[in-house]
Structure 1
Amino acid sequence: MPSLRGPRAVPSAPERPHPRRIGIVDLGSNTARLVVFACEPGLWYSIEDQIREVVRLAEGFGTSSHLTDSSIDRAVTALKLICDFAGAADLDRLQVIGTSALREADNRGRFLADIAALDLDLWVLSGTEEAQLGVDAVANSLAFNDAWVVDLGGGSVQASRMTDRTFEAGGAHPLGMVRLTEAYLRSDPPTAAEVATLEAAVAKRLSSWAKKVRRDPAPLVGMGGSLRNLARAVQKQIGYPIDLIHGYFLRLIDLEVLTELLLNRTAAERAEIPGIRSDRADVIAAAALVFRWRLRKTRRDGLVVSGHGMREGAFHRHFLPAPDYRIPDVRRFSVESRLARYPVPHVHTEHVRRLAGLLFDGLMPLHRLGPREKELLDAAAALHDIGVAVDFYHHYRHGAYLLSSKPLHGFSHREQVLLTLMVRHHEKGKPQTKGYEMLLHSGDKKLLRRLTACLRLAEYLERSRAGRIQSLEVEIGTETVRLHLHSREKPTVELRETYKEAAPLFEDAFRRRLELVPEPLTLPAGRV
């Protein structure tokens, strides 16, 4: 007869330190943008808020290097607004980053005098420093060791080489979209002669860079608000199935179509194109031409879009230890930091991860998958319960939404789709790939079924959330897969629920009948 006992005392979770809130202001040549990062340094960070104002500091830079009265007024007004917000929000740190317009302006002193009363922590970047911060952002958010990095702003473009996740070389060139538009695209829409003149100006500055890239197979990564805008417009045009920009591969063939569309419309008409911001519509054609030229001349079929840029590079200097400011493993950090943000049952989660890993290893003769797929399964096992942060009921749906609505750094969009579907079906249902065909590879349906089957098995073998099944061994027969389950006590609920909820998917995925064999846990001599 079971004993009747009162509720067990539940140990309280260790008190977490209060997150720091750091504001980074990109005082760019086109916009001033504050991004507020909440973080526990070295553990996790998340964007909490932002303020964006169009300032057009580079107005007039097509013919001079003089900040106009109106651009100074707009920038000062924007900074006052940002300071008011920062004071009310009680940020722990506010840093303002100045880029090419401030770097090159011959009347910068007047602007600095106008904002002196704000007592800002202002860092005006050199061209090399701006390029380096872009590389820092790529190294900490994409899983590339080597890359060519291009950052297009309103006043300049930065071109850099990243080697072994370290800035090797790079600098800034006066080819920003505001400057190029003013200097060359004076008609609306621009004429063919104006387009040719702009491309000749770009070639004069960047031809030697393009030759180096042609000889080097490292991926091409682009960043900047204009590129994100172009990528968003392409995604709208082609019906891209997920709402993510970071890590998106923008194909030259799609950019060619969009560029011709932009060149044949007025600024007012461009603003009506889905995905194009109205406050960029007058300069977005120049941005498209710059990136089209780069892809054509480097003979690449596309580039990877980074949603992170100079702002994130600057933030990392407050978040990560000096001197390199690097996240050791981008994919692992992204999973663990996401996990740290949600109130999931961590002991249960870690046990599911361990069981899923044992199942993957034991079933290797059947699935013949490699370490990349095992890492994908582990990520799904780690994040399978994050939907509980929304509500227990339908938490598998909530978890899938949370995964699909924010990039998981270092994972491709294909991998993020697979992760989303695995989490969506970790308890029930048969995973389907309908709607995601343009992102998936041949064979991904089978891969998805098999990884989801392993995840669901691990979940139900830990059904009581008591860690009953301490280890397991896989025995593969011609018609059956037998799991030898080692536990201190008979795992009654685990056996029943696994046969009922997990066995059907497993048997469909692996074409073997599942048998569960509970066995007593054998302890080393002298231990009880």
Structure 2
Amino acid sequence: MSSNFKSEGKNGSENDTLPEPMPLEDLFHKYGIERSHADNVARNALELFEILAPIHGLGPEYLTLVEMAALVHDTGVVTDLENHHRAGRDILLRHPPAELPERLWPVVAWTAFLHKKRVGKEKVAKLKGKAFGKMPEDLQDVTLKVAALIRLADALDYSRMESRLGKATFKGRKVKFEIIGQGAEIDAERMYKKGDLWSLLYDTEIEFKPQSKKS
């Protein structure tokens, strides 16, 4: 059965082209995805998924979706660097990862769209007027939750210096993460910036602190 979701054009117009799923490796080769960054973001996303599971509430059946969304979030970079979030969305609506069930194809595409620029209430409201708003409510919810994790995971590799999550401390409605690595200060700051969607979805605050440098 063919998907009913249509890819979005440059001005929000819809394209009637039916999706043609593509294996992950083919997506990497055809669209020049930076493998090391993709792998790091996937690792970060899976760790965040596990640690923050009591808050986001997504079950383990979504682990593969989160990993796949992380691996292909930058699909549009080579096509259009400045607007790679839009290019990536359109590519993935046309060529979703074949490894995922059809129902989840649009989730990956819209996660790519949501990973780059600031996300606030107004942006989410505008999404409802796009093809995003035609998805079932539960998939819209899943997309926003996955995108919130991918934004943080992407930010953790912003410096490309192999920053990692360290100790996570839960206290009340706050989670404190220690960030480890030479680029920890850069990436912790970036994670604060990219935590906007998380803050919009949940009332649990997250903090990021670079690991103290020992003399």
Q: Equivalent residues in 2 for 1:350-389 (5 A)?
A: 350-389=39-78
Identical aligned residues as a percent? 22
Q: What letter corresponds to residue 445 of structure 1 in structure 2?
A: Q
Q: Equivalent residues in 2 for 1:92-171 (5 A)?
A: none
Q: What letter corresponds to residue 457 of structure 1 in structure 2?
A: L
Matched, 1:493 2:183: no
Moved more, 373-382 or 444-453: 444-453
Q: Which residue of structure 1 aligns with residue 113 of structure 2?
A: 424
Q: What letter corresponds to residue 186 of structure 2 in structure 1?
A: V
- Give the 3 Å change call, closer, same or farther, for CA 459–521 of structure 1 in structure 2: farther
Q: Deviations over 1:488-513 (max 9, x none)?
A: x352221222222x122111122212
CA distance in 2, matches of 1:349, 1:411: 17
Q: What letter corresponds to residue 198 of structure 2 in structure 1?
A: F
Displacement after TM superposition at 1:459 (Å): 0.8
Q: Equivalent residues in 2 for 1:209-288 (5 A)?
A: 243=16, 245=18
Matched, 1:514 2:206: yes
Q: What letter corresponds to residue 459 of structure 1 in structure 2?
A: D
SS of the residue corresponding to residue 58 of structure 2 reads coil
Displacement after TM superposition at 1:521 (Å): 9.1
Displacement after TM superposition at 1:429 (Å): 3.6
Displacement after TM superposition at 1:245 (Å): 3.9
CA distance in 1, matches of 2:81, 2:209: 31
CA distance in 1, matches of 2:64, 2:147: 13
Q: What letter corresponds to residue 203 of structure 2 in structure 1?
A: R
Matched, 1:346 2:35: yes
CA distance in 1, matches of 2:101, 2:109: 12
Q: What letter corresponds to residue 73 of structure 2 in structure 1?
A: H
Q: Deviations over 1:53-101 (max 9, x none)?
A: xxxxxxxxxxxxxxxxxxxxxxxxxxxxxxxxxxxxxxxxxxxxxxxxx
Q: Which residue of structure 2 aligns with residue 398 of structure 1?
A: 87
Q: Which residue of structure 1 aligns with residue 158 of structure 2?
A: 463
- Give the 3 Å change call, closer, same or farther, for CA 407–452 of structure 1 in structure 2: closer
Q: Which residue of structure 2 aligns with residue 444 of structure 1?
A: 139
Q: Deviations over 1:214-249 (max 9, x none)?
A: xxxxxxx7xxxxxx8xx99xx9xxxxx774546xxx
CA distance in 2, matches of 1:421, 1:515: 26
Q: What letter corresponds to residue 377 of structure 1 in structure 2?
A: V
Moved more, 411-420 or 351-360: 411-420
Q: Which residue of structure 1 aligns with residue 176 of structure 2?
A: 482
Q: Which residue of 148, 156, 166 corresponds with 1:472?
A: 166
More helix per residue: 1 or 2? 2
Contact in 1 for aligned 2:165/2:177 (Cα 8 Å): no
Q: What letter corresponds to residue 478 of structure 1 in structure 2?
A: G
CA distance in 1, matches of 2:71, 2:213: 25
Structure 1's unaligned 5+ residue stretches are 1-220, 222-227, 236-240, 247-306, 308-330, 523-528
Displacement after TM superposition at 1:390 (Å): 0.8
Q: Deviations over 1:148-171 (max 9, x none)?
A: xxxxxxxxxxxxxxxxxxxxxxxx
Q: What letter corresponds to residue 455 of structure 1 in structure 2?
A: I
Contact in 2 for aligned 1:349/1:382 (Cα 8 Å): yes
Q: Which residue of structure 2 aligns with residue 335 of structure 1?
A: 24
CA distance in 1, matches of 2:160, 2:183: 14
Displacement after TM superposition at 1:433 (Å): 4.4
- Give the 3 Å change call, closer, same or farther, for CA 461–377 of structure 1 in structure 2: same
- Give the 3 Å change call, closer, same or farther, for CA 433–473 of structure 1 in structure 2: farther
Displacement after TM superposition at 1:379 (Å): 1.0
RMSD between superposed Cα atoms in Å: 3.0
CA distance in 1, matches of 2:68, 2:28: 10
SS of the residue corresponding to residue 386 of structure 1 reads coil
CA distance in 2, matches of 1:362, 1:495: 17
CA distance in 2, matches of 1:521, 1:337: 42
Contact in 2 for aligned 1:359/1:474 (Cα 8 Å): no
CA distance in 1, matches of 2:104, 2:80: 25
TM-score normalized with structure 1 length: 0.34
More strand per residue: 1 or 2? 1
Q: What letter corresponds to residue 157 of structure 2 in structure 1?
A: E
CA distance in 2, matches of 1:520, 1:463: 19
CA distance in 2, matches of 1:433, 1:358: 30
TM-score normalized with structure 2 length: 0.78
Contact in 1 for aligned 2:177/2:208 (Cα 8 Å): yes
SS of the residue corresponding to residue 379 of structure 1 reads helix
Following superposition, which runs of at least 4 residues in structure 1 exceed 4 angstroms of deviation?
none
SS of the residue corresponding to residue 211 of structure 2 reads strand
- Give the 3 Å change call, closer, same or farther, for CA 438–498 of structure 1 in structure 2: closer
Bigger radius of gyration among the two:
1
Q: What letter corresponds to residue 387 of structure 1 in structure 2?
A: G
**Which structure carries more relative contact order (alpha carbon 8 Å, separation 6+)?**
2
